[in-house]
Amino acid sequence: MDEYFDTYLAAQHEPLKNALIELVRIPSVCDEGTYGYPFGKHVDQALRKALQIASDLGFRTKYGDGGYYGYAEVGEGREMLGILGHLDVVPPGKLQDWTRDPFDPVEKDGMLYGRGTQDDKGPLVASLYAVKALLDAGVKFNKRVRFIFGTDEETLWRCINRYKEIEETPTMGFSPDARFPLIYAEKGLLQLKLESQNQTDVRLSGGSAFNSVPDMIFYEGVFQDELASKLDELGFPYEWKEDGIEIKGKAAHAMITEQGINAISRLCIALHAIGVESKSINFIAQELGEDPYATRIFGECSDEPSGKLKFNVGLINIGKKEQISIDSRIPVTISKDEIVKKLCAAAAAYGLEYKEFDWLAPLYLSKDNPVIQTLLKVYHQFSGDEVSEPIALGGATYARAFDNCVAFGPLFPGELLTEHEPNERAIMENLFLAMKIYAYAIYELTR
């Protein structure tokens, strides 16, 4: 590419921002099966909008299998570079915690606020416009470049699994859905439910998703005055409401559950302390407490490449049945079977039965992998950061869906992670820099 390429990149800044605003305005939270679409009307709208944006930029597009996925492609050749992203988002959570409407994006102080700006609409759009800049500069690709648009990443990955059943597999690729410089290891992701029949009068429901630390839960059961006194004693913030008590927590992604405060756990600890019990309440209060690593069950469970096991109680539902929904991130060299065996034994002691909901095997590539070496070289050259090395992550990206793929950006070292939290936002200057890095990376990977 010539010395004037920065001019082509700068020309994409405003179109990129406008396209991102259009996508964020679509509340593409999974609403499974509604209106005849696999994951709901709004997810389908986001997919169609992304395909329209790509088509307007000069890509060949496909709306895949009734809305399970889509893709957009440019270039020619036998080999294919895949760029893997998703258009679904997690629910916004408690709207009062947002300073603005999560689906009416507003730019302030150089940041664009809205659900999906970081995860993953912003990075996906930045990658698209990186290719647009290359096309405008007259670059000829020696491989096809295919953007694969997922629609079910935040739940069960049925989108990418359907793509793999029907479509061509990329030769190599990356997912712009994590951090720079790049991710060479992703922990195993186990989602599960612990269940039993409810043999008490307790009724309780709270949380929004497996992979989000719940930032609040509402309690309207018995012994509210005693509960409030215990919460005061424990130092757990709460607020009286008309019909009950709202226990406060702090939202965080399940891959960094230690950075959140789990409102469900705090409520169960306090309820158990005043004698309000059930199998689920007792399990959470006695086996987990506020430990994001579930050390009582698993011991010191960690490895050198990827660090500690993480354990998040994302939802609880106590009605006719008791059900706890859990997200666990398992170190890359630790056996899933070993983890399940220990968890089943601990749950059984409380009368709870283990039921697997989803499992994503870990990703673990050698740092000598040519894709990793190419991406790292480009990052060091154009980011201004010449020292950061590949990292391991607890998050799960589409990179693990295919061989020879890694997660690559968009957040820079030290940049605040706001995905899955209130006031999710993208620093536009950083997103434009990520676009530049993606452009040079795509150029190098298609040589």
Phi, psi of 143 (to 5 degrees): -135, 160
CA angle 340, 343, 346 (to 5 degrees): 150
- At the top level of CATH, the class of 188-360 is alpha beta
Burial of 259 (0-12, 13-18, 19+ CB in 10 A): middle
Residue 143: per-residue pLDDT: 96
Element (H, E) at 228: helix 224-234
pLDDT band at 284 (very low <50, low <70, confident <90, very high): very high
Question: What kind of architecture, by CATH, is found in domain 5-185+365-445?
Answer: 3-Layer(aba) Sandwich (3.40)
pLDDT for 308: 96
pLDDT in the model for residue 264: 98
Kindly state the average pLDDT of the residues 254-260: 94
Per-residue model confidence (pLDDT) at position 396: 85
Exposure letters 171-204 (e unless 16+ CB within 10 A, then b): bbbbbbbbbbbbbbbbbbbbbbbbbbebeeebeb
The residue type of 230 is K
Q: Are 173 and 354 in contact (CB under 8 A)?
A: no
Q: In the structure encoding, which two tokens stand for residue 11, read together?
A: 């020309």
C-alpha 290/C-alpha 300 separation (Å) is: 16
Q: Please pick, among 73, 119, 120, 153, the residue that the annotation labels catalytic.
A: 153
Site of tokens 């992550």: 393
User: Can you tell me the distance from the alpha carbon of 26 to that of 297, in angstroms, rounded to the nearest whole number?
Assistant: 41
Residues 81 and 145 sit within 8 Å (Cβ to Cβ): yes
Query: Which backbone phi and psi does 240 adopt, to 5 degrees?
Result: -70, 135
Tens digit of pLDDT for each residue in 1-46?
767 899 999 999 999 999 999 999 999 999 998 999 999 999 999 9
pLDDT at 395 (0 to 100): 81
Among 179, 175, 186, 256, smallest CA distance to 413 is for 179
User: Which residues contact residue 98 at a Cβ distance below 8 angstroms, ignoring those fewer than 6 apart?
Assistant: 92, 422, 423
- The pLDDT tens digits of the residues spanning 112-132 come to 999 999 999 999 999 999 999
Is residue 393 predicted with pLDDT exceeding 90?
A: no
Cross-strand pairs, 406? 174
Kindly give, in sequence order, each residue whose CB lies less than 8 Å from that of residue 36, ignoring residues fewer than 6 positions away: none
Q: Is 186 a catalytic residue?
A: no
H helical segments located in 27-150? 41-56, 121-136
Burial string for 15-40 (b: 16+ CB within 10 Å, else e) reads bbbebbbbbbbbbbbbbeeeeebbbb
Which residue, 265, 310, 261, is CA-closest to 288? 265
Domain limits, the chain: 5-185+365-445, 188-360
Count of residues making up the chain: 447
pLDDT 10s digits, 298-331: 999 999 999 999 999 999 999 999 999 999 999 9
Structure tokens given for 3: 């010395």
From the list 44, 88, 327, 421, the catalytic residue is 88
Q: What is the CA radius of gyration of the chain?
A: 23
For the stretch 49-103, pLDDT in tens is 999 999 999 999 999 999 999 999 999 999 999 999 999 999 998 899 999 999 9
The Cα-based distances of 11 to 105, 110, 136, 209, 283 in angstroms read: 22, 18, 10, 39, 56
In this predicted model, what pLDDT tens digit does every residue of 155-211 receive, in sequence order?
889 999 999 999 999 999 999 999 999 999 999 999 999 999 999 999 999 998 898
Q: What is the overall mean pLDDT for the chain?
A: 96
pLDDT at 248 over 90: yes
Strand 252-253, strand 212-213: pairing: antiparallel
Banded model confidence at residue 410, pLDDT cuts 50, 70, 90: very high
> Sign of the C-alpha dihedral, residues 203, 235, 246, 31?
negative
Distance CA 328, CA 299 (A): 14
Task: Tell me what pLDDT residue 35 has.
Answer: 92
Annotated active-site residue 88? The verdict is yes
Phi, psi of 273 (to 5 degrees): -70, -25
Q: Is the pTM of this model over 0.95?
A: no
